[in-house]
Amino acid sequence: MYPFADQALVFVMLINFLALGSSRMNVSVRAVALQGVTLGILPGIMHTFSWHLLAITAGIILAKGVAIPWLLVGAMRKAEIRREVEPLIGYIPALVLGAIATALAFVFAAKLPLAPEHQGLLFIPASIATLLTGFLLLVTRRKAISQVIGYLVLENGIFIFGLLLTEAMPVMVEAGALLDLLVGIFVMGIVINHISREFSSIDTSRLTALKE
């Protein structure tokens, strides 16, 4: 039904592993930007051309692939960080967990009672695998920016699942999700700014040392 969508989704899942296995912040940001551009192209692959579809695709690419990564790069420069030095779980174990999560996503998706037109597609397993990857990034990274990247990957997983519902859901639902995402990025930017201003580190685990 969607001849090139599965290839794009395989690419998205490969980007998940790049985000999990990289210690360099700029690589992770570029990975999320590339993932956002790929997801922005997917609606154009799935539906026939229209100016309305072109506007939606351009908006998704600009938001996920340009604007949000640009905000993250700016936050990295202001906070003066380049690497995730001491993650809660090492990069090799994180990759192993990511591989296990991806395998489990395929197993779980195979057991779901999907509509006939959705059976055999990679949307559901790719969505679950990307959600789990974002969750892994959130819980295994110490730096606030890395956790924002995890949040972005998690939101991308939700976006993939939503692509199956584009016929039933209005465009404003996705626009609202993007708006919430932008608000979340701004909030995290403020948090990062305050942490880097008041403390010598933006390691979120050290916040437990704060006392009245």
Determine, yes or no, domain membership for 183: no
- Say if residues 127 and 93 touch (Cβ distance below 8 Å): no
Give the residue numbers spanning the domain of 58. Answer: 1-112+132-165
Determine, yes or no, domain membership for 176: no
Q: Smallest Cα–Cα separation from 167: which of 4, 53, 54?
A: 53
pTM of the entire structure? Answer: 0.80
The pLDDT of residue 178 is 61
Q: Which residue has the tokens 């974002």?
A: 134
pLDDT exceeding 70 applies to what percent of the chain? 71
The model's confidence at residue 179, banded by pLDDT at 50, 70 and 90, is low
The model's confidence at residue 55, banded by pLDDT at 50, 70 and 90, is confident
Tell me: the pLDDT tens digits for 15-28?
Answer: 999 999 888 888 88
Pick from 55-59, 75-79, 167-171, 197-201 the range whose average pLDDT is largest.
Answer: 55-59
Determine, yes or no, domain membership for 42: yes
Distance CA 186, CA 93 (A): 31
Where helices occur in the chain by DSSP H, the ranges are 5-21, 25-46, 51-60, 68-79, 91-110, 123-140, 144-163, 171-198
The pLDDT of residue 172 is 46
Count up the domains in the chain and report the number.
1
Token representation of residue 81: 């960080």
The pLDDT of residue 191 is 60
The pLDDT of residue 106 is 92
- Say if residues 153 and 137 touch (Cβ distance below 8 Å): yes
The pLDDT of residue 208 is 60
Distance CA 183, CA 198 (A): 23
- Stretch 199-203: mean pLDDT, rounded? 57
Count CB neighbours of 99 within 10 A. 14
pLDDT above 70: residue 163? yes
Determine, yes or no, domain membership for 208: no
Determine, yes or no, domain membership for 21: yes
Tell me: the pLDDT tens digits for 102-152?
Answer: 999 999 888 887 766 667 778 889 999 999 999 999 888 877 778 888 888
Count CB neighbours of 116 within 10 A. 6
Count CB neighbours of 180 within 10 A. 11
Determine, yes or no, domain membership for 188: no
Determine, yes or no, domain membership for 44: yes
- What amino acid is encoded at 100 in this protein? I
